[in-house]
Amino acid sequence: MSTGHGPTPSIDFDHPPADPLPLFEQWFAEAQKLATPNPNAMTLATVDADGAPSARIVLLREISREGARFFTNRNSRKGKALAANARAALLFHWDLLDRQVRIEGRVTLATDAESDEYFAHRPVDSRVNAWASDQSEPVASRAELERRAEEMTRRFAGGDVPRPPHWGGYRVSLDRVEFWQGDKYRLHDRVVYVRGGDGGYRVQRLCP
């Protein structure tokens, strides 16, 4: 239902669908049509072993009923946080559509086969640099980073670049999914899906 204050929502927030995944796929497809880079960019928020929160941008590579999947260096700061506290929050913000989607859930590792498949499709230089960079660790200079990259380029010259053992995928389960449609005068539309023990969702409209 439109208030007349902003964009007409693509769903009836008073009578939303029962399942969040098709709705996310619809919104994501619409975001992909925008003239902006990386519509799959999402903020990943984690909490480490000391209870300190941290957030950064990662890229969604696949979403299914099992969760939202991304890939990274598992020895990075976010990887260490997820090893200590296997829960995370994701946030998509598509400003030109005045929309946000928030996902919260448990985090599990993607399988080695999934990680190998995705890594094999990355550009060669990206695969080499996954070996060269000790992500989140101190480095003396840009020159040192480039020296490591050149060393790895020589190491793998003329051959395959396998996936490093510390690099792979994660999947964030769709335990809580919220859709937000902005309104010019701040009377936003919000609906949240909370998964129950039977796998179904409790759906509620929220105040802005």
Instruction: Report DSSP state, residue 128.
Output: H
147's CB contacts (< 8 A; 6+ apart) are none
Give the three-class secondary structure for 2.
coil
**3-state helix vs strand vs coil in the chain, percent to 5:** 25, 35, 40
Per DSSP, the residues of 84-109 read HS-EEEEEEEEGGGTEEEEEEEEEEE
Question: What residue has token string 């909490």?
Answer: 47
Give the three-class secondary structure for 143.
helix
Cα–chain center distance at 68: 6
Give the three-class secondary structure for 63.
strand
**Active site (catalytic) residues:** 186
Question: What residue has token string 């020159």?
Answer: 143
Tokens of 181: 């449609």
Give the three-class secondary structure for 195.
strand
